Amino acid sequence: MGLTLEERETIVLFNEKDKEAEIFTYNRALITKLKKLVKERPGEVQLKRDNGEGGFTFIVPKDWLGVRPPKKMNFSEETRRALSERAKRLVAKV
């Protein structure tokens, strides 16, 4: 029996002393990216464990972690109208 979506977690652990963070995840895209980095940058990224149920644990440099809020697009009303009209013309061509 497989895990539910709620059970397929991603957990990032680090402390203030160590320079590395541990990432445990079931997220396929993140696993693929981290496995690629293990091959490309073996001195920096390590595959620590495969739990055999689809979850993997990786060790990465802690300073690679961050939180990126989405960019805010503050367009004027005139710019919004111009972009809207351009999009309508492009869709009409299809």
Cα 45-56-43 angle, rounded to 5 deg: 10
Q: Is 10 helix (H, G, I), strand (E, B) or coil?
A: strand
In the chain, where the domains are located: 10-69
What's CA 47's distance to the chain center, in Å? 17
Cα 4-57-12 angle, rounded to 5 deg: 80
| pLDDT value, residue 54 | 94
Cα 77-79-83 angle, rounded to 5 deg: 120
| pLDDT value, residue 55 | 96
Both tokens assigned to 47:
């595959």
Residue-level pLDDT, tens digit, the chain, 94 residues? 689 999 999 999 999 999 999 999 999 999 999 999 999 999 999 999 999 999 999 999 999 999 999 888 888 899 989 999 999 999 987 7
